[in-house]
Amino acid sequence: MISKSISTGRFALISWLAVVSFLIFSMVVIGGVTRLTHSGLSMVEWKPLMGAIPPLHEQAWQEVFQKYQQSPEYQVINQGMTLQKFKSIFFWEYFHRLLGRLIGLVFIVPYFFFLWKGTLPKGLAQKLIPAFFIGGLEGVMGWLMVKSGLVDLPRVSPYRLAAHLLIAFFLFAYLFWILLDLIVEGELENLVSEAHICKLKSISRWILALIVLAVIYGALTAGLKAGYGYNTFPKMDGEWFPSGFFALQPHWRNFFENGVSVQFIHRTIGILLLVTVTSFWVYARRWVLSPRQFFGVNFLLLMVLVQVFLGITTLLLIVPVSLAVLHQAIAFILFAVAIFMVRTFSE
């Protein structure tokens, strides 16, 4: 934990990391919009620096469009697409990449400014160094994901999509934990015995792990477009256990590459998460909790209820863009609340 003796400029540091964390959340949401509007393969080149400048005149647009016309997506799916339609899908991918660059600037520039001003303590500065590498890795993985859809089949690798999303979640978790350290800074007091706090912390960690697993399978579901089939609940087209679960050989592939089994696993994790969080809520409320712990326990249950409802509704309505994006956004918020819970029970 960060010492009170180095808390000069603490509010500025909190504000900075809060803005970066919010921008990461925004990037994940925009990434969802980009995927669901089929915009992710509209930019067929990766230019980390010059790519920040969009086409500024008609000739530039024509050049970019001609490059897209050489891609499998245009040739297989979007033959005859107009330039105007292309501009609409280009916008979301461009905005998503631009937001990634903005996050880099908003993190890097204040980092060195605070370091120069002496506001950023040495220990905290060192803690933040891994974020540079995680952020860079996220950018590289984003391009590798896009690149996987530019050869042969116009579909990105579900594995790379899941990795791209997970790195974003991990980057957020890393910075958010440091942010919580800065915010609470010894303010929390446990009102429950140490034995019960350890149990609550252990359960909250398992819940966090379940959420991460749900996110992984949510990404695989999205990458395989598995949400567009078996649009019934609670059964999958009349079956409690889908007959196509082990359709692929060898069997291990079904857990990652079979849309039927991946959707079933994602559903199952969601229900398991609902049961676990509800049980946790009942158990935790038996004890006198601090205000932050009380808020976290209640908000966690609320977010799980909302998320399960959104997941089922999105499935039944065959993945409308607005609901699917909201489902991804709530998953991120649920992840943040779970981190908050682990942190509050770590005092």
SS (H, E, C) 110-129: HHHHHHHHCCCCHHHHHHHH
Residues 6+ apart with CB under 8 A from 186: 1, 4
Q: Are both 56 and 202 inside the same structural domain?
A: no
Its pTM stands at 0.92
Q: Are both 315 and 229 inside the same structural domain?
A: yes
| pLDDT beyond 60 at 186 | no
Domain end marker among 152, 187, 222: 187
| pLDDT beyond 50 at 92 | yes
Q: Are both 290 and 279 inside the same structural domain?
A: yes
The more confidently predicted of residues 346 and 160 is 160
Domain end marker among 187, 213, 231: 187
Q: Are both 17 and 66 inside the same structural domain?
A: yes
Indicate the range of 40-54, 111-125, 227-241, 326-340 predicted with least confidence: 40-54
Range of the domain at 218: 190-347
pLDDT in tens, 31-63: 999 999 999 999 998 888 767 888 999 999 999
The more confidently predicted of residues 231 and 286 is 231
3-state secondary structure of 245: coil
Q: Are both 338 and 206 inside the same structural domain?
A: yes
Q: How many domains does the structure of the chain reveal?
A: 2
pLDDT in tens, 120-129: 988 999 999 9
Q: Are both 41 and 71 inside the same structural domain?
A: yes
Distance CA 245, CA 195 (A): 42
| pLDDT beyond 80 at 188 | no
Q: Are both 149 and 272 inside the same structural domain?
A: no
| pLDDT beyond 50 at 1 | no
Q: Are both 320 and 216 inside the same structural domain?
A: yes
Q: Are both 236 and 183 inside the same structural domain?
A: no
Q: Are both 237 and 308 inside the same structural domain?
A: yes
Q: Are both 147 and 258 inside the same structural domain?
A: no
Domain end marker among 187, 204, 228: 187
Q: Are both 328 and 233 inside the same structural domain?
A: yes
